[in-house]
Amino acid sequence: MDATFKIRRFDPEDKQDPHYEDFNVELPEYGSVLEGLLDIREQQDGTLSLRCSCKSAICGSCSMKINGESRLACKAMVSEIKELEGDLITIEPMGNMPVIKDLVVDMDSFWHKVESVEPYLQPKGPEPEKEYLVSNDQMMTLAVAMNCIMCGACVSDCTVLEVDSNFLGPAALAKAFRFAADPRDGAQEKRLEMYDQPDGVWDCTRCFMCVQACPKDVAPMERIMDIRSMAVEKGISKGRGMKHIQGFINGVKHSGRLDEFGLARKTYGFPLWPFMLAPMGIRRLLRKRLPPIFHKSIAGAKNVKKIFENLGV
Amino acid sequence: MRYAFWPGCVSKAGTPELYPAATAVAEKIGMELVELDQANCTGAGVLGERNEELVDTLNARNFAIAEQMGLDTILTICSTCQGVMSAVNYKLREKPEYLAKINQNLAAEGLEYKGTVRVTHMMWAIVEELSLEELGKMVVRPLTGLRIAPFYGCYILRPRYVLGMSEHPDRNQYLEKIIETLGAEPIDYEGKLKCCGFPIMTLNEENGLKMVSNHTLEAKDKGAHALVTPCPLCHLNLDEFQPKASSMSGKPINMPVLHLPQLIGAALGFNVKEMGLKRHIVSTDKFIEISGMS
């Protein structure tokens, strides 16, 4: 099987700007993108730089953008990509991190953020006499997040990090969940307060990029939502994110549908909401675009309310 | 084709021009929409943050109502509703024991979801059930000379495994295909598959506005006359907050944002009023002029 790789090249010691170079490679039927890259480095251009180690989707070293999506090069099968996405395969370094050379990025900020969530158990009370047993169910919940191999694919594709490099990001927050949800940890409250801060869980825009990119099904965005739920549940989260959820629940619980006006009032609170909504209201009035002022319930709204009540919401 | 129709809450409130435009276009292209007026809000991703079982129950309720009406496909014009419904449906159909548990929550109302419903979005149904060829035959006003930037929104793209992308891997190219069928030229740009920023507008407005200005300015740089989206929430953010995003970035934008049915309606001969094109925040005059709409 032959393939053409269009690779983004950059060498800081070279005067050239970043540019793309095409390479043709010959691969076995089930060849991976990584095998192709190593072949190029051995046979065609020894200066091509990339990171890799295990070639088995375990070490997490070879994350890069393949046709615009961050994936492990060793797990990306060339034949599948050619079939679904076309013959030319574009390969670029990960995003949201500075490029050092070719496909190698500087992951310092990635590691600092993981470190900042205190990714280690902090037990409370006297040391137990024997091993601490965690139930199967609890372990299964943790295992999802423990599957993370720190490859950086989620961070590379995160749409919030593109506009705000201070955001803790999906990898660090998935790791944060792994410790906040561990029954052996004694610092849960402190952790939730820490992750509830600006640049933490409430800055996620729920775009699913990290869910799609993760090669180990950690679904970091879902773990971020898990932390949000825990922080709301424990009464730690008192900000706009919590008010937004409460306002949303109120509207749907009592009318069966979203009450947009009521939601905005609840989220911003008094006396802020008139100031936040007035400019928008005037613009909308001029465009004959005011939403209905009196919120209408759906037929059967009572049944919806009962569902909320029966589930204790 | 006959569909159980779920318009979503926003198409009647936040973007009130969408509902009349979508239903008019549906009628013209022969889609029979039976509105689910008993159905409830899908939760829009927000309710799920608090209680997953609640969201699964609320969506199963809608599916059960569609089944009761004898309809096997729910069609929506809201990408977010489509994403939430598809994810819940995937889960309920994969796990029969969990479905049985959810059905207990519906028993008080005498409802039961049997797991037979299929969820689709109007954009998907147009390509997969009507066909681009048929749509092309209905074009009476080709949108020649218009360059349109597609903007998909997250919920209609990700995560692929709940959205039937293995069966239809080219669902991330439908907007381009529809734009071409209508006679316009699709613009390629990086922002088309990214997030509009809507979910964080109340939490971190600065970041949300940066997303708006990045995408609209990129489309503008690539020569787009307008953006088109299948998601009313993306529309809300990219249109409603564009003036604010423009002043924050210090650059004029003026990029009209169309709902997908409005773009189709323009090519099918509808007029400006029928498509509600004067009800947007960012003026659509340039689009109207080039398209030749009256």
B208 CA: distance to closest CA in chain A (Å): 9
Q: Which pLDDT score is estimated for B63?
A: 98
Sign of CA dihedral B270, B271, B273, B277: positive
Q: How far apart are CA B46 and CA B49, in angstroms?
A: 6
> Tell me, what's the pLDDT at A287?
81
User: Residues 228..257 of A with a Cβ closer than 8 Å to B: which?
Assistant: 228-229, 232, 239-241, 244-245, 248-249, 251-252, 256-257
Inter-chain touch A304–B61, beta carbons under 8 Å = yes
Looking at the complex, report in whole angstroms how far the Cα of residue A289 sits from the nearest Cα belonging to chain B. Answer: 6
Rounded CA separation A277/B287 (Å): 29
Helix (H, G, I), strand (E, B) or coil at B225: coil
Residue A52 near residue A34, CB atoms below 8 Å: yes
DSSP element (H, E) containing A219: none
Binary contact (B158, A287; C-beta < 8 A):
no
Look at residue A277 in the predicted model and tell me its pLDDT. Answer: 78
- Please report the residues numbered 151 through 170 in chain A whose beta carbons come closer than 8 angstroms to any beta carbon of chain B: 159-160, 162-164, 167
Percent of all residues in chain A with a pLDDT value above 70, rounded to a whole number:
100
Q: Would you call A311 and B40 a contact, using CB atoms and an 8 Å cutoff?
A: no
**Where do you find CATH 3.40.50.11810 in chain B?**
137-291
Mean pLDDT across chain B: 96
Structure-block tokens of residue A244: 């937004």
Q: What pLDDT shows up at residue A289?
A: 80
Q: How far apart are CA B164 and CA B156, in angstroms?
A: 10
| Cα–Cα dist A191/A187, whole Å | 6
pLDDT at A243: 87
| Cβ distance of B214 and A208 shorter than 8 Å | no
Which residues in chain A have their CB less than 8 angstroms from residue B157's CB?
208
Size of interface A-B (CB pairs under 8 A): 160
Mean per-residue pLDDT for A129-147? 93
Report how far residue B129's alpha carbon sits from residue B119's, in angstroms, rounded to the nearest whole number. 13
Cβ-based neighbours of B57, under 8 Å, separated by 6 or more: A307, A311, B102, B105, B106
CATH superfamily of A2-105: Beta-grasp domain (3.10.20.30)
pLDDT score for A16: 86
Residues listed for chain A: 313
pLDDT at A258: 84
CA atoms within 13 A on the CB side of A260: 18
CA B23, CA B29: separation in Å to the nearest integer? 10
ipTM above 0.85, yes or no: yes
Fold of B137-291: Rossmann fold (3.40.50)
A159-171 pLDDT per residue, tens: 999 999 999 999 9
A111-233: CATH architecture:
Orthogonal Bundle (1.10)
Over range A220-224, report the average pLDDT: 97
Residue A311 and residue B57: Cβ atoms within 8 Å? yes
Number of H helices, E strands in chain A: 14, 7
Residues near B168 by beta carbon (within 8 Å), at least 6 away in sequence: B124, B128
Q: What is the pLDDT along chain B (294 residues), one digit of tens a residue?
A: 899 999 998 998 889 999 999 999 999 999 999 999 899 999 888 887 778 899 999 999 999 999 999 999 999 999 999 999 999 999 999 999 999 999 999 999 999 999 999 999 999 999 999 999 999 999 999 999 999 999 999 999 999 989 989 899 999 999 999 999 999 999 999 999 999 999 999 999 999 999 999 999 999 999 999 999 999 999 999 999 999 999 999 999 999 999 999 999 999 999 999 999 999 999 999 999 999 999
What is the pLDDT of chain A when averaged over all its residues?
93
* Confidence check: pLDDT of A78 > 80: yes
- The CATH 1.20.1050.140 portion of chain B extends over 2-121
Task: Please name the residues in contact with B177: beta carbons below 8 A apart, sequence gap of 6 or more.
Answer: B127, B132, B170
Which residue of A92, A164, A229, A258 to mutate against B (max B Cβ within 10 Å)? A258
Structure pTM? 0.94
Backbone angles phi, psi at B105, to 5 degrees: -70, -25
CB contact under 8 A, A306 and B50: no
Q: Inter-chain contact B194–A207, Cβ cutoff 8 Å?
A: yes
Among the listed residues A219, A225, A262, the one whose alpha carbon sits nearest the alpha carbon of residue A242: A225
CB atoms within 10 A of CB B138: 17
How far B133 CA sits from the closest chain A CA (Å)?
23
Record: contact B16-A289, CB cut-off 8 A = yes
Give the pLDDT confidence score for residue A271 in this predicted structure.
76
Adjacent-strand bridge partners of A128: none
CATH topology of domain B2-121: Glutathione S-transferase Yfyf (Class Pi); Chain A, domain 2 (1.20.1050)
**pLDDT confidence of residue A290:** 76
| Residue listed under structure tokens 């050239």 | A16
- Kindly give the residue spans of alpha helices, DSSP state H, lying in A106-234: 108-116, 136-146, 153-157, 159-163, 169-180, 188-195, 209-213, 220-233
Q: Supply A127's token pair.
A: 């040391």
Q: CB of A190 within 8 Å of any CB in chain B?
A: no
CB of A201 closer than 8 Å to CB of A141: no
Residue A88: strand pairing partners: A4
**How far apart are the C-alpha atoms of B194 and A115, rounded to whole Å?**
28
DSSP state, B77? S
Give residue A268's pLDDT: 79
Closest partner residue to B194 (CB to CB) among A159, A225, A304 is A159
Q: Which residues pair with B73 in a beta bridge?
A: B118
For residue B185, what pLDDT is reported? 98
Residue A191 has pLDDT above 80, yes or no: yes
User: What pLDDT, on a 0 to 100 scale, did the predictor assign at position B93?
Assistant: 96
Q: Is residue A117 scored above 80 in pLDDT?
A: yes
The pLDDT assigned to A214 comes to: 98
Confidence band for A263, pLDDT divided at 50, 70 and 90? confident
Is the pLDDT score of A285 beyond 90? no
Q: What is the DSSP string of B234-261?
A: HHIIIIITHHHHHHHHTS-----EEEHH
Q: How many CB atoms lie within 10 A of CB B72?
A: 13
Q: Which residues from chain A sit within 8 angstroms of residue B43, using beta carbons?
A: 252
User: Which three-class secondary structure state does DSSP give residue B227?
Assistant: strand
Q: How far is CA A81 from the centre of its chain?
A: 23
- Cβ–Cβ gap B50/A245 under 8 Å: yes
Residues B43/B46/B47/B52 CA torsion (nearest 10 deg) = 100
- Flag whether pLDDT at A24 surpasses 80: yes
Interface test with A, best of B17, B19, B50, B244 (most A CBs within 10 A): B50
Distance CA A249, CA B54 (A): 10
Where do the domains of chain A lie? 2-105, 111-233, 240-310
Helix/strand/coil for A167 = coil
Residues in a beta bridge with B143? none
Q: Residue A215 and residue A228: Cα distance in Å, rounded?
A: 24
| A293 inside 8 A of chain B by CB | no
- State the residue for tokens 């070293």: A61
Given B39, B51, B210, which is nearest A313 (Cβ)? B51
